[in-house]
């Protein structure tokens, strides 16, 4: 396997991409052992495949290629081909599913092999996003949303969940060894993929949930709050508690209230933020309050807004958001000029400083922010002075 990863090939005729495509095909094999072996190989290949995407992305950024073409990566080329073969067949099993638990027994039985193959494909995609650097992860997640895959996979997960999970959310029956021992493989895989989706692609799940009809939205909320949210909140708070202390920033965690207080101090200046996780995290919005300020009320509002936007619209952890917030403040106190589109020093996707400078007003901008400005305004002018950039 190391030879394949280093050399990007199996032998003189079979490339790493050929092996990836073969493994994705084997996820639909009728033999479960073959499916699991293929899934294991895909997980081992993932770091190398991502590094290939990073190289392509860097070249595209250097050449300033059009951002509208976002299907050039492994998910867009290989995963797309295989998921499309499943989606039509899967859709017929969720088309009549209205999230009414008492009607589940009247719906046609979901074929076991088809369900497991589909779940393994999604497990590969979610894991691929998890292991990617922030800019690629953002690109992958946006591609999934553009393809509207969440409108098939997430209803499918609830269609496949065990009845005990859907019916007993109010009693919060623990998902312990007893319950798992009577579940089918596809039901265990379903619970795993749903938890992983919420853990690593929370924005995708949140947007889907927000657009549901009220009754459907309530069921998803209750099941998530009962079975998934407590674990994810605990993971977030534990990670913050165990995080190495960063210079100029102190973090304190209050588990009982699901609160995190981050204090940034430099010289005599001080800024304190309180981040509160909702009970149904990550479906509900994270609340950010600015308690003490640096640079007046406007500065505090901007800082709160930036962190809120990151935690709402980026598939990162609370620790990721606070680290980005801290680096932004560090750069501001070092005198680094902020981008005049997003008013942030460090871009939340690329983690880069503003590099593009207007030749007229000399203001600096992040590349992605400027490209977004050009595309939404249909103009190639500077956002500040309005001269041709």
pLDDT tens for residues 319-357? 988 888 888 888 877 778 888 888 778 787 776 778 888
Number of C-beta neighbours around residue 16 at 10 A: 18
Cβ partners under 8 Å of residue 196, min gap 6? 123, 126, 127, 130
Q: Could you tell me the pLDDT band of residue 193, with boundaries at 50, 70 and 90?
A: very high
Q: What is the pLDDT, as a whole number, of residue 65?
A: 56
Q: How confident is the model at residue 299 (pLDDT cuts 50, 70, 90)?
A: low
Which backbone phi and psi does 223 adopt, to 5 degrees? -65, -45
In the chain, the largest separation of any two C-alpha atoms, in whole Å, equals 69
Amino acid 175: pLDDT: 52
Please, are residues 313 and 298 in contact by the beta-carbon 8 Å criterion? no
Report pLDDT digits (tens) over 117-135. Answer: 999 999 999 999 999 998 8
15 prior amide bond cis, ω within 30 = no
Sign of CA dihedral 371, 375, 381, 384: negative
What's the average model confidence in pLDDT over 56-70?
Answer: 73
Bigger pLDDT: 315 vs 169:
315
Residue 78 token pair: 């290989």
Q: Are strands 269-276 and 259-266 parallel, antiparallel or unpaired?
A: antiparallel
Q: What is the pTM of this model?
A: 0.82
Interval 148-168: pLDDT, tens: 999 999 999 999 998 888 887
**Which of 192, 180, 201 is CA-nearest to residue 39?**
192
* DSSP string for residues in 139-183: HHHHHHHHHTTHHHHHHHHHHHS-HHHHH-TTTT----HHHHHTS
Alpha carbon distance 382, 359 (integer Å): 9
Neighbours of 375 (CB within 10 A): 12
| Letter string b/e over residues 156-181, b meaning 16 or more CB atoms within 10 A of that residue's CB | bbbbbbbeebbeebeeeeebeeebee
Contact between residue 240 and residue 253 where contact means Cβ atoms under 8 Å apart: yes
């Amino acid at each position: 396997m190391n030879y394949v990863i280093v050399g990007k090939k199996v032998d003189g005729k079979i490339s790493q991409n050929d092996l990836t495509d073969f493994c994705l095909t084997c996820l639909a094999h009728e033999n479960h052992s073959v499916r699991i072996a293929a899934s294991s190989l895909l997980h081992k290949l993932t770091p190398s495949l991502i590094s290939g995407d990073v190289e392509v992305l860097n070249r595209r950024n250097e050449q300033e290629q059009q951002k509208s073409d976002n299907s050039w990566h492994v998910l867009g080329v290989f995963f797309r081909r295989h998921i499309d073969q499943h989606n039509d067949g899967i859709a017929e099993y969720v088309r009549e599913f209205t999230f009414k638990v008492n009607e589940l027994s009247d719906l046609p039985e979901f074929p076991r092999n088809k369900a497991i193959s589909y779940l393994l494909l999604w497990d590969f995609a979610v894991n691929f996003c998890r292991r990617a650097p922030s800019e690629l992860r953002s690109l992958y997640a946006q591609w999934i949303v553009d393809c509207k895959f969440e409108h098939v996979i997430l209803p499918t997960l609830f269609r496949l969940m065990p009845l005990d999970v859907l019916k007993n959310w109010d009693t919060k029956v623990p998902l312990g060894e007893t319950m798992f021992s009577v579940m089918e493989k596809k039901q265990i895989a379903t619970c795993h993929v749903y938890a992983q989706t919420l853990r690593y692609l929370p924005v995708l799940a949140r947007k889907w949930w927000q657009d549901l009809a009220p009754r459907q939205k309530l069921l998803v909320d209750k099941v998530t709050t009962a079975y998934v949210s407590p674990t994810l909140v605990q993971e977030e708070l534990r990670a913050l508690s165990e995080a190495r202390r960063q210079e100029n920033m102190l973090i304190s965690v209050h588990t009982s209230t699901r609160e995190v207080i981050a204090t940034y101090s430099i010289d005599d200046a001080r800024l304190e933020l309180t981040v509160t996780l909702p009970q149904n995290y990550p479906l509900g919005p994270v609340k950010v309050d600015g308690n003490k300020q640096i640079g007046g009320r406007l500065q505090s509002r901007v800082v709160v807004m930036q962190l809120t936007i990151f935690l709402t619209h980026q598939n990162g952890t609370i620790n990721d958001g606070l680290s980005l917030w801290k680096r932004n403040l560090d750069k501001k106190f070092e005198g680094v000029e902020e981008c005049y589109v997003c008013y942030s020093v460090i871009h939340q996707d690329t983690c880069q400083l503003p590099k593009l400078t207007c030749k007229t007003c000399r203001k600096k901008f992040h590349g992605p922010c400027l490209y977004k400005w050009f595309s939404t305004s249909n103009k190639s002018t500077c956002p500040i002075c309005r001269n041709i950039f």
